[in-house]
Structure 1
Amino acid sequence: MITSAIQKCSVGCLFVLLLVVFCAVLANVWWQADTTAATRWYILTHLQLPLALTAVLVGSALCVSGAALQVVLRNPLADPGIIGIASGASLTAAMVLILMPEWMVDTLHYSLPMACFAGALLSTWIIYRLSARLRGLNTAVILAGIAITTLTSAIMGWLYLFADAQSMRNLTFWVMGSLHQADGWILLWSGPLIVGSCLFILSRAKSLNYLYSGDLVARSAGIDPQQQSKFILLASALAVGCAVAIAGSIAFLGLLVPHYLRLMLGNDNRIVLPASALCGATMLLLVAFVSDLLPYASLPVSMVTATIGGPLLLFALLKGQFK
């Protein structure tokens, strides 16, 4: 086990890396020699800054939630995407976009995060109830998450049949994920909710350490496992719901980042949780940076994370790291 000093140094290095990549994303616009200073400033404030903030907020929310869910559900495969939380949020977002009357379109900046949170909360409640009844049966919880994801995908498929061309493009965004869709209003409503949820989960890092050791150890430390689990699940659902509201569904990030950080930094959630937030934010910023360098395409985020995460997950399974 590595020492506490090395763990804290690693978190510090991740923070510095995050700042460097964040500045690089913002600086992308200044490398464009064919634009005026006024145009560059407009692009910086209206496009690049929201893009960078979206990457930081979404990456932090997914990875912190994933790390917390793995402890609360006692399942190393717990992830907002795999167990169906992100799918529930995406479904309610799709229903709002397609079924909302035209006179309510101006309310999307707060109705969309609320709808995503409701869908994420419902999926979280189902998973929590199943995990309570199937204690120790990790595979059953994952299968339940797959069932939820399959059901929501089927419903979204039916919605495609009744959607117009613009709605179909919006639905594709929720399936593939994008960092370029969030505007100032959505960030204004979703950002504080994500930050508050992540800070709440981070403040429960010590309690998560006790939960990681089992209910008996937690109770001996004066912690109510069920109450703590409910609070953390609620905060995770809020963070994931708001993340889906501004970036769509993003696969694998919340599973693999906490998993590999635990392998490198140990199981102390006081280190793993902030490291997960920093690493997740940095990874999505790198996706945004590379996407900006491409001349004709904006990379679908979920496609990139799935392309990287799929082989990494298979490698971890072959190495027997998920038990």
Structure 2
Amino acid sequence: MPGRGGVLGGLGLGCAGMVALIAASTLASDLAHDLKWHIFTSLQLPLILTAALTGAVLTVSAATLQVVLRNPLADPGIIGVTSGASLVAAVLILTAPVVMAEHFYYLLPLGCFVGAMASTWFIYRLARKLQQATVAVILAGIAIATLSGAVIAWLYLFSDAQSLRNLTFWLMGSLYQADGTILVVAGPIMLVSCVVQIRAAKALNWLYAGDHAAIAAGVSPQKIIQRSLLAASVGVGAAVSVAGSIAFLGLLVPHLLRLALGFDNRLILPASALCGALFLLTVGAATEWLGVITLPVSMITATLGGPLLLWAIYRGQWR
């Protein structure tokens, strides 16, 4: 029979083994929890914030531009706002020197703001000069988009293969390019842009009745237009810097909402922001669910949005 010391030693070893097993299990659990938390904060949370903020600001900016320019086709992508931002972003991505890499996360949003505001200012001046002629504004936007595409094509000739691949994918839109650093800069700007435009909804309603009616109601058309254009262009610039060029979203969502809710901007603008955010969140969730490849966002929005917009146009004409 083993002595008392042997029994106590065995019990001690058993207890030590149990403690070691519990400690190892706790450590593994903590490591798994830390890994899950790291994945959430580094990958999933930026994806959620990028999709929600980008979808909201693109759709509410499109709804605002359609009222300000008196043009139902005034989508940031169609009238050249996105193209101006994309052009500056492409120049920075392909030509920024190595010494600027440290500050690139701050330079990219700033460059997109400059490009978006420059193209918006040009379109606004042209619209005023031509008294908001629908065809002229659309043609000007096409001209800006074509010129921007031509400059980017010339840049392609002087860039390496990896830069070209990154730029091509970026220009087609992606929810996976942003991280915490760039979202800290661009995220609040997109949020403020949405808030400013939604707060101006009541004043934008007076623009439907014309400048004289707006002035009689105490609303300055020129000030509200300039403020709305500034907020929209800054918001679109921030969205492009975060997610690249995303097509069709701003044209689709406000059009569907106006068919369903009417033309009161107090409803249309917040509903546009909410539905745009939900739309891109759904796209991001679908991409995550597929789990095989990262699809360009513009390809998905165009594939889903094209048939929906055709149906909405047909439904509106039928009514």
Q: TM-score range by the shorter chain?
A: 0.7 to 0.9
2:38 match? 42
The amino acid across from 2:75 in the alignment is D
Between 1:312-321 and 1:189-198, the stretch displaced more is: 312-321
Match of 1:93 in 2: 89
Cα deviation 1:56-106 (Å, max 9, x = unaligned): 110011011001000000001110111010011011001011111101111
* Distance in 2, Cα, partners of 1:291 & 1:235: 30
CA distance in 1, matches of 2:247, 2:95: 26
- Give structure 1 stretches of 5+ with no counterpart: 1-34
Which amino acid in structure 2 is aligned with residue 91 of structure 1? L
Select which of 286, 292, 295 maps to 2:291: 295
Cα distance per residue 1:205-227 (max 9 Å; x no partner):
11011112221211111111111
Partner of 2:308: 312
Deviations 1:133-167 (A, max 9, x none): 22252122111111111111111111111111221
Q: Any residues of structure 2 matched to 1:93-172 within 5 Å, and which?
A: 93-172=89-168
Query: C-alpha distance in 2, partners of 1:141/1:250?
Result: 20
- Alpha carbons of structure 1 residues 238 and 160: separation in structure 2 relative to 1, 3 Å: same
Q: Which residue of 2 aligns with 1:3?
A: none
Letter in 1 for 2:63: A
CA RMSD of aligned residues (A): 1.6
Q: Distance in 2 between matches of 1:156 and 1:303?
A: 20
TM superposition shift of 1:318: 4.6
For residues 165-207 of structure 1, the C-alpha deviation after alignment (integer angstroms, 9 at most, x for no partner) is 2211221133210000101110000011111111111111110
Contact 2:193-2:235 at 8 Å conserved across structures: yes
Aligned with residue 51 of structure 1, among 35, 47, 54: 47
Say whether 1:275 aligns with 2:271: yes
Report the secondary structure of 2:238's partner residue.
helix
Q: Please tell me whether the aligned partners of residues 56 and 284 of structure 1 are also in contact (alpha carbons under 8 angstroms).
A: yes
Equivalent residues of 1:197, 1:239 under 8 A apart: yes
Q: Of residues 198, 205, 212 in structure 1, which corresponds to 2:201?
A: 205
2: CA distance, partners of 1:140 / 1:174? 29
| Partner-residue secondary structure (3-state), 1:39 | helix
Work out the number of aligned pairs and report it: 288
- Show structure 2 runs of 5+ residues with no match: 1-30
TM-superposed CA distance for 1:317, in Å, is 4.4
> How far apart in 2 are the matches of 1:158 and 1:294?
35
- Checking the alignment, whether the CA contact within 8 Å between 1:64 and 1:273 is kept in structure 2 is yes
- Residue type at the aligned position of 2:194: C
- Letter in structure 2 aligned against 1:148: I
Measured after TM superposition, the shift of residue 314 of structure 1 is 3.4
In 2, the alpha carbon distance for the partners of 1:191 and 1:177 equals 17
- Residue pairs, 1:69-84, within 5 angstroms: 69-84=65-80
Query: Which deviates more from structure 2 when the two are superposed, residues 130-139 or residues 273-282?
Result: 130-139
Identity percentage of aligned residues:
59
Distance 1:312 1:283 in 2: 13
Between the aligned partners of 2:127 and 2:74, the Cα distance in structure 1 is 11
Contact 2:255 2:312 in 1 (8 A): no
For residues 170 and 298 of structure 1, the distance between their equivalents in structure 2, rounded to whole angstroms, comes to 13
* From 234, 240, 247, the counterpart of 1:244: 240
